[in-house]
Structure 1
Amino acid sequence: MAEPMQTGTEAASPSPSTLDLETYLASYTGVTRIRRLAYIAQASAPHRMDALRMAVAEVKRSTNTALFQELVQISESLCADDSVVPRDSAWVEQVDRKAAQRLEKLESDLNQHKTSLVKESIRFGHNELGDFYYERGEFNTALKCYVRTRDYCTTSKHIIAMCVNVVRASIAMGNFTHVANYVTKAESTPDSVSDAALASQLRLASGLSCLEGKKYKQAARKFLEISADHAPSYAEIASAQDVALYGGLCALASFDRADLRTKLIDAAGFRAFLELCPQVREALHDFFHSRYASCLALLDKLKPDLLLDLHLHDHVEQLYTDIRSKALVQYFSPFVTVDMRLMASAFNVGVEGLEQELAKLIMAGQIKARIDSQAKVLHKRASDQRTATFSTAIKMGEEYTRDMRALLLRINLMRADFIVKGSGDAAGLGPSKSSRQESRPRPALGEPLSYGAEVGL
């Protein structure tokens, strides 16, 4: 007997994730390691204690005391054992004191550079301040420092470096409007074309921006353009496995069958990413070969881990809904009538649940059909092709007749020299300029022209 479809509460509470944190974090560098651990600590109870301990170990190798305080608050509010992340006021005070001294030195150096009026030194000083604030976790202030370097950029490489720094800080802030703007600015710089590693970074940032805006088809295209050979260059944002997940799921939700084959399955460039994520690869192959039950089962197994992803967790439900709806539409498309019992078996769901899904798709206009609820049969709406063809031909004839009449009218007006060239006054009323010139009396031969006559007024 087919298992009932998961809806409502069941779909919202998937099985616990079996994510191995050490293996998972090995692909990341920089502040994203701590941010991902902090999110996992909040989202997954089984991983909470291990994630907090690993996050504290990471954050104590940096100067980000604000994030350490945040981890302490997460531990106190979510963990029964307060010893998971103990308060370390001495470490916080020591790091803050050293940071204040370094900040004072950096600001003093920047003031000296401004006095010397050397653009390269001023740009370097602002970049150092931005890096300092970025490491401290003050991304908004870091962003302002990076933006200030714009006035001191003298080469295209300086502009690209400024854009990359702004994009990096904006992603950490979650401000993807800035990400899209500065990616476009960097891509329009000539030197960005020749650097393959830089191009991969920018495409990844652009893909995340499209993903955040729920533009899944555009996001898939950006992720598919990333090179697997330069994975270390964007490890501070995402890993190669993330690119396979983001690109594969967005493509499944938005690409048609032809694009899935040419741009994913048969594409040599993206195949390297899919090898790192076998479940996504198998789901793509199953979907393409219409093995929908197997595809959806693989995605369901993958779902608990996806819900722990820093960038993808908000889009998992929508992506899964789009993929399932697309599978139902593709299954029904070649048939005139379909036994819903066989269809439910193919999707490994109950007939009643399938009927509700199909009703929603029919109401949304994605499937042109009607449901025989008693016989459990789905009928395609019969369309009179003969009438539709005649209607299209008549409409085209009417449009052609209207265009020809307008063209003949214009030709006759031009022959009669009956042309309005423009209004003479501000209100758009009165005779045209040409008619006023023709009606004005011409001066006699040898009579001097006035200024108004000379300029045609």
Structure 2
Amino acid sequence: MSNPSSPSPKRARMNSAESIQYSSLQGANSKKVIYPAPTLEQFDLKQYLDEYSGISKIKRAMYMAEHCTDLAAECYCIALAEAHSKTLNIRIYEEIWQRLRQLSVDVQKDSQWVEQTRNENSREKEDLKREVDKAVIAGQKKDALKAQQDFARHLVRVGQADEAVRAWQDTREYCVNVQDQALLSIEAAKINQSNCRWLQVNSFTQRAVQTLSKSVDEKMRADIDVLQLQASVGDGRWAAAVASVRTLKYDGLVSCEMFTSGAVAPQDIALYGALAGLAALKRDSIKADLINNVEFGKFLDHMPECARLLRCFYASRYSECLGRLDNLLSLAALDPVLGPHVGQLQATIRENTVVLYTQPFVSSSLESMAQALRFGSTADLEELLVKLIERRLISARIDGTSGYLVKYTANPRDTALETINRMYRSLSLQSEAMLARIQFFEEEMGKTGRK
């Protein structure tokens, strides 16, 4: 078989200064959006994907190929080589090969490997089933548990995800302690994680935590923490994601199975934490919880651009911050966990940046602000400012004649009058409620008297 990774078609690169817009992205179930290749400085596709292994590497490469035509052929070649060398998943191997053919990439299919692997998969599946039945008939609960676990892992390797989840759930009847019960929930969560089914990941990890109670094995705890972080990011729950990042311990995580198996890489934690932090935290919290967080800093070492972005935001270097944000979002758009939310992320972080920019000034030139915050036009900036003012995130008014945003300072008399009106409305409601109650009691007493 020819080396599947040998074809390396040239891909067009965007100018690093070019701003990337993601506003057309509606969510995970929307029409597929095609992006250009990442503009992140010194980005190397092969080096990036080599941080992962097995089915995680394959599915990540396929997601990138589906959303970036510039990288499609190279991603599929890397995925094909990984499927051939690291898995027994014939279905995904043939699917990738078909997609390469559609792209007119000449890669020979290893039909002999496909047929041989198919026969071996079928034979091993039957053997493992017999082992389970044999142990059950003999009444050997521990042997039945081990055989059922081996059977479930085999189903994962051959790509039968739904059947593998059911097989792991079937191990429950052979479990002899809470650790075994928690393990089946964690393994089921991992299968759903590889398919980006975040609701199921949440459900299984919560079940594992409830099962273990206080007796949580350190490696299990680390796997659960990573799974819950990914589920939070996958659901777009940025505050929950940051809360998870704050408690992560680098040494414990990188030695857990999620990392050693290549399902997750340290660069993921850096990217998830940085972007979720910018979306969910205030300026001072970003410094305390992320920039000065020693443990998170170890993850940032794997993706220094995330650290630079956080420092730019905290130092109020807005133009540079938004430029770095665009570069990171160009990679996040091709991440299977972050990708469906990249439009929401960009909008939220941009809003936070605009609010932060306006805080020190009594008035700001709309033209200067649009230039500093990398807006296409002052009209785009005005549209966003109107929304922020309506949501009371900014206390200001737009002076269209002079082209300035003027901070609004409430008149003390107006404030006092508004307070009095609010108190009047509150007292009126209380009075009406009291009168209604008195009327109710009078009617009740009248009925009692007539009896």
With structure 2 as the length reference, what TM-score do the two structures score? 0.81
Query: Per the alignment, do residues 39 and 15 of structure 1 end up closer, same or farther by CA in structure 2, a change over 3 Å counting?
Result: closer
Aligned residue in 2 for 1:214: 236
Aligned residue in 2 for 1:29: 53
Contact 1:193–1:199, Cα closer than 8 Å, also in 2? no
What CA deviation, in whole Å up to 9, does each residue of 1:281-338 have, x standing for no partner?
1111111121111111111222332222221111222111111111001111343322
Aligned residue in 2 for 1:380: 407
What CA deviation, in whole Å up to 9, does each residue of 1:88-136 have, x standing for no partner?
3332111111111111111111111221233322222221111011001
What CA deviation, in whole Å up to 9, does each residue of 1:128-166 have, x standing for no partner?
111011001111100000111123222121122112111
Aligned residue in 1 for 2:134: 112
Contact 1:146–1:162, Cα closer than 8 Å, also in 2? yes
Q: What are the within-5 Å matches in structure 2 for residues 423-434 of structure 1?
A: none
What CA deviation, in whole Å up to 9, does each residue of 1:202-244 have, x standing for no partner?
1221122122222111122213322211224222331111100
Contact 1:207–1:223, Cα closer than 8 Å, also in 2? yes
Match of 2:254 among 213, 221, 231: 231
What CA deviation, in whole Å up to 9, does each residue of 1:52-91 have, x standing for no partner?
22222211122100110110122122x123x23x333332
Aligned residue in 2 for 1:71: 96
SS at match of 1:237: coil
SS at match of 1:143: helix
Structure 1 unaligned spans of 5+: 411-417, 420-429, 432-438, 440-457
SS at match of 1:370: strand
Aligned residue in 1 for 2:6: none
State the alpha-carbon separation in 2 of the partners of residues 263 and 215 from structure 1. Answer: 17
Contact 1:204–1:223, Cα closer than 8 Å, also in 2? no
Query: Per the alignment, do residues 391 and 205 of structure 1 end up closer, same or farther by CA in structure 2, a change over 3 Å counting?
Result: same
Shift of 1:340: 1.4
Aligned residue in 2 for 1:263: 289
SS at match of 1:273: helix
State the alpha-carbon separation in 2 of the partners of residues 15 and 109 from structure 1. Answer: 49
Shift of 1:37: 1.9
Query: Per the alignment, do residues 176 and 301 of structure 1 end up closer, same or farther by CA in structure 2, a change over 3 Å counting?
Result: closer
Query: Per the alignment, do residues 403 and 152 of structure 1 end up closer, same or farther by CA in structure 2, a change over 3 Å counting?
Result: farther
Aligned residue in 1 for 2:150: 128
State the alpha-carbon separation in 1 of the partners of residues 163 and 125 from structure 2. Answer: 13
State the alpha-carbon separation in 2 of the partners of residues 379 and 52 from structure 1. Answer: 53
Partner letter of residue 401 of structure 2? Q
What CA deviation, in whole Å up to 9, does each residue of 1:339-398 have, x standing for no partner?
212322322444343223323433555334332223111123443344435654675698
Contact 2:182–2:212, Cα closer than 8 Å, also in 1? no
- Stretch moving more, 234-243 or 22-31: 22-31
State the alpha-carbon separation in 2 of the partners of residues 361 and 150 from structure 1. Answer: 52
Aligned residue in 2 for 1:435: none
Q: What are the within-5 Å matches in structure 2 for residues 85-164 of structure 1?
A: 86-164=108-186
SS at match of 2:301: helix
State the alpha-carbon separation in 2 of the partners of residues 65 and 179 from structure 1. Answer: 25
Contact 1:140–1:173, Cα closer than 8 Å, also in 2? no
SS at match of 2:398: strand
Shift of 1:260: 0.9
Aligned residue in 1 for 2:188: 166
Identity of aligned residues (%): 25
Query: Per the alignment, do residues 46 and 19 of structure 1 end up closer, same or farther by CA in structure 2, a change over 3 Å counting?
Result: farther
SS at match of 1:374: coil
State the alpha-carbon separation in 1 of the partners of residues 190 and 19 from structure 2. Answer: 41
Aligned residue in 2 for 1:369: 396
Q: Which has the higher contact order (CA 8 A, sep 6+)?
A: 2
Contact 1:220–1:247, Cα closer than 8 Å, also in 2? yes
Aligned residue in 1 for 2:372: 346
State the alpha-carbon separation in 2 of the partners of residues 228 and 180 from structure 1. Answer: 22
Match of 1:48 among 62, 68, 72: 72
Partner letter of residue 358 of structure 2? F
Contact 1:163–1:185, Cα closer than 8 Å, also in 2? yes
Contact 2:238–2:279, Cα closer than 8 Å, also in 1? yes
Partner letter of residue 214 of structure 1? G
Q: What are the within-5 Å matches in structure 2 for residues 269-288 of structure 1?
A: 269-288=295-314
Partner letter of residue 384 of structure 2? E
Structure 2 unaligned spans of 5+: 1-16, 26-33, 438-443
Contact 2:37–2:68, Cα closer than 8 Å, also in 1? no
State the alpha-carbon separation in 2 of the partners of residues 327 and 404 from structure 1. Answer: 46
Contact 1:16–1:46, Cα closer than 8 Å, also in 2? no
SS at match of 1:174: coil
- Stretch moving more, 292-301 or 110-119: 110-119
State the alpha-carbon separation in 2 of the partners of residues 4 and 387 from structure 1. Answer: 47
Contact 1:187–1:193, Cα closer than 8 Å, also in 2? no
Aligned residue in 1 for 2:224: 202
Query: Per the alignment, do residues 100 and 285 of structure 1 end up closer, same or farther by CA in structure 2, a change over 3 Å counting?
Result: same
Aligned residue in 1 for 2:339: 313
Is 1:20 the counterpart of 2:44 in the alignment?
A: yes
Aligned residues: 415
- Stretch moving more, 394-403 or 238-247: 394-403
State the alpha-carbon separation in 1 of the partners of residues 187 and 18 from structure 2. Answer: 49
State the alpha-carbon separation in 2 of the partners of residues 133 and 374 from structure 1. Answer: 68
Aligned residue in 1 for 2:208: 186
- Stretch moving more, 158-167 or 332-341: 332-341
Query: Per the alignment, do residues 217 and 357 of structure 1 end up closer, same or farther by CA in structure 2, a change over 3 Å counting?
Result: same
SS at match of 2:181: helix
Partner letter of residue 340 of structure 2? D
Query: Per the alignment, do residues 192 and 58 of structure 1 end up closer, same or farther by CA in structure 2, a change over 3 Å counting?
Result: farther
Match of 1:323 among 343, 346, 349: 349
